[in-house]
A and B are shown apart, each in its own frame.
Chain A
Amino acid sequence: MSMITKERPVSNGVVLDITGDLTYANREQFKTAVERIRQRGVRYLILNMADVRFVDSSGLGLLALVSQNFKLSQGQVSMLKPQSYVREIMVLANIQKLIPVYDNEQEAVTGFKQAA
């Protein structure tokens, strides 16, 4: 399945709404969308995963990579509403240690303010 990304500003950062699968096949599209945001100087990125059905091992690596790149720019990536299967993958890979997971957008935005 392909991927559609749409960004929208929130106080202090950007939300990237992702629809589709975060997989090897869509890796370039995801990287491009995220890098465009980071290179504008945005420090806080919320990945809205509500419409992501599947994340494969390549997708997981990209999430870690994006999180590392934002940290290098003194920023932070967080994740919003992963579906149950995706959430399970995140838990097994302990990814919440790197990327905080939130169930509502307001909490995610507040999380940034605390980090900032």
Chain B
Amino acid sequence: MERHGTSSVDCNDSSRSTGQTSGSDKTAAQQTALIVDDEPVSRAGMAARLKRLGYRVLQAGDGKAGLELLRRERPDLTILDWMMPELDGPSVCELVRRDPEVFSSQIILMTGHDQPEQIAEGLARGADDFLSKAASPQEITARVQAGMRAAGLIRRLEHATDEIRRKQEAIERELQSAARYVVSLLPAPGLLLPGLEMASAYRPSSALGGDLFNVLRWDEHSLGLYLLDASGHGVSPALRSASFSTFLRDDNLLHRVGSSDPGAILTEANRQFPLTENGSYFTIVFARLDIRTHTLFYATAGHNGLLLHRRSGEICYLAQPSLPLGFDGGNVYHTADTQLSPGDRLYLMSDGLYEVPSPTGELWGQARLKTSMREAAAKPLADALSHAIGAAEQWLGHQQFPDDIAVMGIELAG
């Protein structure tokens, strides 16, 4: 075959006068075909035929120039001669399929020898369709139109995918921004009062978590501590938690409940936050610590995550079975109390920290969490939290916890 250089590339816009359509939603006049053939006569013949069909036609005289034009112009359909020097048709197909920018291009491979083995090889190396040089004008027209139709559908699919990706990215940016807001609601670790240190950890399972914890400063001698968990995952529980945390502000509680008593606060919260129509609800542990007497007052609603680790080594969960908020509007939540001693640690945690499945489905559980806290008794408070989360992560086998993890620990200076 005759050799043509890249100089043989030319561009011809066809007239729009034919008015024929390609079968896709675009008119034929808007669609572009690229013909890559080193044989000038057959290339010109095909170009003339396609122009008559109403397509814009680009031409290249060898594989390298054809590939260059395909990458630059992104034609809807490329008709590629098999036999060309240096870079033949199947090789061009392979290069196109490996290029993420143009891999979805529609390509018809054309040859004078349409043996079944050759057709199979051409398709295997990346052609979409096959055309014999001896094909009738009707067949050529039909195959070109079918190729254009497929190209139109692929373009639409790519546009839709791009659109979805753009929207997804916008939603993710929004979620990240909302997540930063949720984190801004959390208290800063450090000294809460002289002799009372706090450390915490927060790892939402998706961008937005439904767990929240906070510290309320009732007066210079007493603190409120709470950790709540909204059922479900994602945006809706996070919004409900943020709304609940507004209710739980100290000034609002004094106004609405008139007391810093944990049981009274949960009893009122239970009235204010009924089950939603989807059955969503909160569980919560609420505590009040009097730093002068070292007395801890606490109440829970369906929440079992209140762990007392005494300096003596004794470690126990304080919470008793109780209804989650909203399950029974008339329920009264009672306050219990216990005496803390210097060196004691108290943890408020979401069940996401211990309801962690191993790869075989076995849960890590509250007993193993206790063991982990015992192991970390000599470590600083913040390190004890990291130790427990690390142990849970090891049990899980990866870092993507299925549920939100929130934990806040306090330690009385000893």
* Chain A residues close to B by CB (< 8 Å): 24, 27, 57-58, 60-65, 68, 91-95, 97-98
Contacts and interface: CB of A to CB of B under 8 A. Distances in A.
Given A24-B232, A92-B302, A93-B302, A58 B323 contact: no
B204 interface: no
Contacts of B279: 27, 58, 61-65
Contacts of A64: 275, 279, 281, 324, 326-327
Nearest to A66: B279
A68 B329 CA distance: 10
Main secondary structure of the interface of A (DSSP, over half): helix
A74 B279 CA distance: 20
A85 B15 CA distance: 75
B327 A95 contact: yes
A79 B293 CA distance: 45
| Nearest 3 pairs of A and B residues by beta carbon | A61-B279, A65-B279, A57-B231
B321 interface: yes
A93 B232 CA distance: 16
A94 B323 contact: yes
B281 A94 contact: no
Contacts of A61: 231, 275, 278-281, 324
B20 to A, nearest CB: 50
Contacts of B281: 61, 64
A56 B324 CA distance: 13
B324 A60 contact: yes
Interface of B: 229, 231-233, 275, 277-281, 283, 302, 304, 321-324, 326-328, 331
Nearest to A71: B328
A65 B281 CA distance: 10
Contact of A93 (B275, B277, B321): B321
A36 to B, nearest CB: 17
7 contacts: A27-B279, A57-B283, A64-B326, A68-B327, A92-B302, A94-B321, A98-B327
Nearest to B326: A64
A97 B280 contact: no
Contacts, number: 58
Contacts of A94: 302, 321-323
Contacts of B283: 57, 93
A61 B328 CA distance: 11
B301 to A, nearest CB: 9
B357 to A, nearest CB: 11
A9 B249 CA distance: 50
B323 A65 contact: no
B323 A97 contact: yes
Contacts of B322: 93-94
B280 to A, nearest CB: 6
Contacts of A63: 279
Given A93-B321, A94-B322, A98-B328, A60 B278 contact: no
B275 A65 contact: yes
B27 to A, nearest CB: 45
A95 B232 CA distance: 18
A112 to B, nearest CB: 20
Given A60-B231, A61-B231, A61-B281, A95 B323 contact: yes
A68 B275 contact: yes
A90 to B, nearest CB: 9
A27 B304 CA distance: 24
Given A27-B278, A61-B275, A64-B281, A92 B323 contact: no
B358 to A, nearest CB: 15
A92 B275 contact: no
A62 B232 CA distance: 12
Nearest to B274: A68
Contact of A91 (B275, B321, B324, B327): B321
A68 B326 CA distance: 10
A61 B273 CA distance: 13
B203 to A, nearest CB: 17
Contacts of A91: 321
A98 B283 CA distance: 16
A58 B321 CA distance: 18
Contacts of A95: 323, 327
Nearest to A65: B279
A93 B324 contact: yes
A91 B302 CA distance: 10
Contacts of A58: 231-232, 279-280
